Amino acid sequence: MNAMERAFYAADPTFDGRFVAAIRTTGVFCRPSCRARKPLPKNVTFVADAAAARAAGYRPCLRCQPESAATVHVREIETPIGPMTLGVTDHAIVLADFSRRAMMPAQLATTRRRIGPTVVGDAPLLDRLEAQLREYLAGERRGFDLPLETPGSAFQERVWSELRDIPYAETISYRELAVRVDSPLAPRAVGRANGSNRVAIIVPCHRVIAAGGGLGGYGGGLTAKRFLLDLEVRGYSSRGLKSAPSAW
């Protein structure tokens, strides 16, 4: 079994964008990460890209939509709260998460499955995102004016949309957030949706805390969450600069 065959049968999203699988029995072609039932190996041909598959007479799979993928340009940066991995397409921010969190491999896999393949490289939106994060973490910015693309389940998207409405320097509880998304009995589900947020800080899940006033959880760690909450309380105070290492 070669690498492409192994990737296709494992539905490995890291191979999306490198090739497509053309299925003789159905006449469709799929991304490597497609979750549809896999055909027998004898019925699969691997080709370079969607254009080659179409030229051979195949049509795109309706489930994995192999022609809808957009390349995600990624970059890792150092911040006062640890390294972050940023990702953008040509048109939107799709990733800004903590590189060392346990969920990072899953976040990258979801990005590849829902958006497209990731490549390390430069892009104008990456520069804008990094610049605005630097300003925010230095206490010089309160909001972001960046286009976002954050596809998820219907419930996740309701939660993430509500997060963006929490004002700077204010907090709400997980229970209150559950009420706001019309799921008052589901604060734990809200917490899981928070944890799945792929655009930290810009979609400010750090502003959600425990009902008793405790910090609750945070993908970047509680030290990072406390830093962000304290930074916002200080607002534009120049004291925010003192928390940053000299390399920042």
All residues at 6 or more sequence positions from 146 whose CB lies less than 8 Å from its CB, including other chains: 93, 125, 128, 129, 132, 202
Tokens 């065959």 — which residue? 5
- What phi and psi values does residue 95 have, to the nearest 5 degrees? -155, 135
Burial (CB count <10 Å: 0-12, 13-18, 19+), residue 129: buried
The DSSP H or E segment spanning 160 is: helix 154-163
H runs (alpha helix) in the chain? 3-9, 50-55, 104-114, 124-137, 154-163, 174-180, 187-195, 222-234
In angstroms, the CA 201 to CA 84 distance is: 11
Query: Taking a C-beta distance cutoff of 8 angstroms, is the pair 202, 238 a contact?
Result: no
Of 194, 33, 189, 206, nearest in space to 103 by CA: 194
205 as an active site residue: the answer is yes
In angstroms, the CA 191 to CA 215 distance is: 12
Of the candidates 30, 34, 61, 205, the residue annotated as catalytic is 205
In angstroms, the CA 50 to CA 241 distance is: 49
In angstroms, the CA 205 to CA 10 distance is: 32
Active site amino acids: 205
